[in-house]
Chains A and B, each alone.
Chain A
Amino acid sequence: MISALNRRFKAGFFKQTAIAPLIMFRIIFGAMLLFSSLRFMIKGWVETQYIEPQFYFAYLGFEWVKPLQGNLMYIPFVIMAISALFIMLGFFYRISTFLFFLCFTYVELIDKSNYLNHYYFLSLMSFLMMLVPAHRDFSIDAKLFPSIRRKETAAWHINILKFQLAVVYIFAGIAKINSDWLLEAQPLRTWLQAHHNLPLVGGILQEEITAYFFSWTGCIYDLFIVFFLLNSRTRPLAYLAVIFFHIVTWLLFPIGVFPWVMIFSTTVFFGVNFHQQLLNGLKKLFKWTEQVPEQIKKIPTPRPIVKYGLLLYIAFQVIIPLRFLAYPGDLFWNEEGFRFSWRVMLMHKEGHATFYVTDKNSGRTIEINNTDYLTVRQEDQMMTQPDMILQFAKMLKKEFDGKTFSNSQQSISLKDPAVHAEVYVSLNGRPSQLFIDKKHDLTLLPYNLKHRNWLEPFEK
């Protein structure tokens, strides 16, 4: 059993295969990164998400990651755009992929209120691209240093990319196997009815049966699309499904570039011939001269570090989305093990959180206006996510400790104040329920990965 697996692993990952799919993927991926970096700057989001906020919600263990001062925050984005262009052109490829990965991941780590699954995906993909030699044909590097040119490459260089895409789809599919999604057609029912004024399709979209159809189709699509893409016979039809599915989601939901990332990334599943022809066409267009004779290198034996590194990466990618199983309680309610798990468009959660800073001596309180400290987006994200609520409470304590409040009659100084919060949350169209009771002094609660027993239980 083990040795059979080992053989398959070796065959699937270390045999030599045509490099064309990898080259084509580099070009497509670089173009996507370039587009999304430019789009982010043009939309003014560097300003609104990395310059305007006064406070950032750091990831646990990454509190040392801080934004740069003011407009300096544009630097990582400019580097991203330039390195994305270089990735596309295959110019100083290894350095460019490294720089892109570094800048992109740095920016993502600054504030978890900006977390999106597709950002995490791009971060992982740029990490993988850094490790594979996608510059060994039809690139400026290959032009400058013809000795790096190859016709073939190890299969894992391409298959690890397919694996990553498979992880995204399959876990997104598994996440949809829950009663809200399948039996209540929520949150799609809420989201689709909001389109009832669209010409032609509006009437259909607000029908309940449509929401069920979308929910079930979406779930089945996510679970199985990868297998249909892998099979050369079903591939053309499967890719049409990919295009159709993602364009529908792009039209209906504000999910930005994600549909396009998936539509273009899944081309990596296409056969060698397809990529070879495409690449030959491009080469013709740009008058690329092949250097003959091509160096034929001996097939390299897989190094143990590569083998075990790959196994470790694969194991992590499977375990991380499943870590929620280690926590009791409702996943959507508690959000323990929610991020980094490909739960895309899965729930509709709205909350309202009122924070109170209390003087322990007099029992007097201050009611906080959250938007004095947070942007609208940060507040919106914070109000339904327990870890962010806790972080905000601890920030408030720091902010208010030692401050003096007065009116014409008296004056009170706050020392080591308590911070309480009353939070109500509505999940997937249910009436709002108490999420966090005002009785807890949040400053005394630990911020860690352990189960948070101070959340009110969820009632379906």
Chain B
Amino acid sequence: MLKRAVGFILIISVGLFYSCKDKKDKDSDKVDFNKGALLENVSGNIIVPALAQFNGEVSDLKSSFVTFKNDPTNVNLEVMKSHWKASYLTWQTVKIFDFGPVRLNGFKSATGTYPVDTAKVQANMTNGAYNLATISNLDAIGLNALDYLFYKSNALSEFQNTPAYMQYAEDVIGKLYNETQTVVNGWNSYQSTFNASTGTSSTSAFSEFVNEFNRDYELAKTAKIGIPIGKANLGLVKPEYVEARFSGISFELLIESIKALKATYNGNSFINGANGIGFSNYLVHLEKINLDDLINQKFNIIQSKAEGFSVTLETAINDPSMQNQLDELYLHLQQQVVNIKTDMTSAFGVLITYQDNDGD
């Protein structure tokens, strides 16, 4: 009995020795990595600069509105539209980071909810006494409300002839402007907290960042493409769910969103695209080079598939001959979910719930 026990321990010890030994070799080419550096890079080179740029664009939007209000010409409307569009494109980066001051102020839903409920917007204007801060008005404010107000077919004449219409746009822009200020200021003090929060609990900044990155990716997949092409509706298309339907820039927004997610994944600077520390580096550090390649390739494929459309999303979904092309785009979007949500997240050892756990 004793002999057998000793033999057993010997065998496993030898096995252990060998398995350690052959892993030691791989150890030597491990890349140095730490989560603190990742958070510093992401906050300093992506989040804060993106917020600053968004802030600048929203300020431009606000001042262009003042100009337009004093002189409601088509030229001034076009200037306002261009600032709106620039803001909306930058928003594709900002919206990834739904934690800290963004979460605290409900900034993501207040700014980016779509589709806009046009009937609600109209009713608000007619009634006059509206409170844009209520939850029920989330789909009557933000960038998509402006999409409707700026781009609906008779927008210019509405602005010129309906004071309530002008007032509503002013209120929506004012709200967006104020909230942007709040969030930018919030980040001034939150940045150091964020950088230091490298723990493994689900409330650490690193875990929140990973989880929100996944959530934003899935939201882009589902809301920008899935729902409009009828994935939740037996394949019966829902053009009324198209993002930025009135301006028709939905594909541009999708492409920008994918680019932003890819840049964030790689930790690339928002300002100049320079390489930095991101999830990609963490995966390489964990010897998951194949997964890292797979994720980057998939982002590239999705981007090129999205760039393959020369019409608006609404035109595409109403054209049966384009169904396959849309389905293909969606399939690639879907396949990436497993890469980032299952493989990447599990490699990081990040938890998604805050309750007790015993690992089963």
Contacts and interface: CB of A to CB of B under 8 A. Distances in A.
B305 interface: no
Interface stretch (B75-83, B114-122, B251-259, B339-347): B339-347
A60 B238 CA distance: 40
B350 interface: yes
A45 B200 contact: no
A216 interface: yes
Contacts of A377: 353, 355
B341 to A, nearest CB: 5
B358 A258 contact: yes
Contact of A405 (B33, B199, B236, B337): B236
A66 B92 CA distance: 44
Given A212-B20, A424-B338, A348 B349 contact: yes
Interface string A424-445: 1110010110000000000000
Interface stretch (B137-145, B168-176, B227-235, B307-315): B227-235
A342 to B, nearest CB: 10
Interface residues on chain B, size class:
35 or more
B356 A196 contact: no
Contacts of B355: 45, 48-49, 114, 256, 377
A197 B342 contact: no
A69 interface: no
A354 B331 CA distance: 12
B350 to A, nearest CB: 7
A260 B346 CA distance: 27
Interface string A393-415: 00000000000011101101010
B128 to A, nearest CB: 32
Contacts of A48: 355
A255 B355 CA distance: 9
B360 A338 contact: yes
A150 to B, nearest CB: 37
A216 B356 contact: no
A74 interface: no
A325 interface: no
Contacts of B235: 364-365
B226 interface: yes
B349 A190 contact: yes
B232 A369 contact: yes
Interface stretch (A180-188, A233-241, A265-273): A180-188
A346 B358 CA distance: 8
29 contacts: A48-B355, A117-B358, A182-B15, A193-B349, A194-B350, A196-B34, A197-B34, A208-B24, A209-B20, A254-B351, A256-B357, A344-B358, A345-B360, A349-B346, A350-B341, A350-B342, A350-B343, A350-B345, A350-B346, A365-B235, A366-B234, A376-B353, A377-B353, A412-B234, A414-B234, A424-B338, A426-B342, A429-B347, A432-B342
Interface of B: 12, 15-16, 19-20, 23-24, 27, 33-36, 198-202, 222, 226, 230-238, 286, 290-291, 334, 337-338, 341-343, 345-360
The 8 closest A-B pairs by CB, nearest first: A256-B356, A350-B346, A194-B349, A197-B198, A345-B359, A364-B234, A407-B236, A377-B353
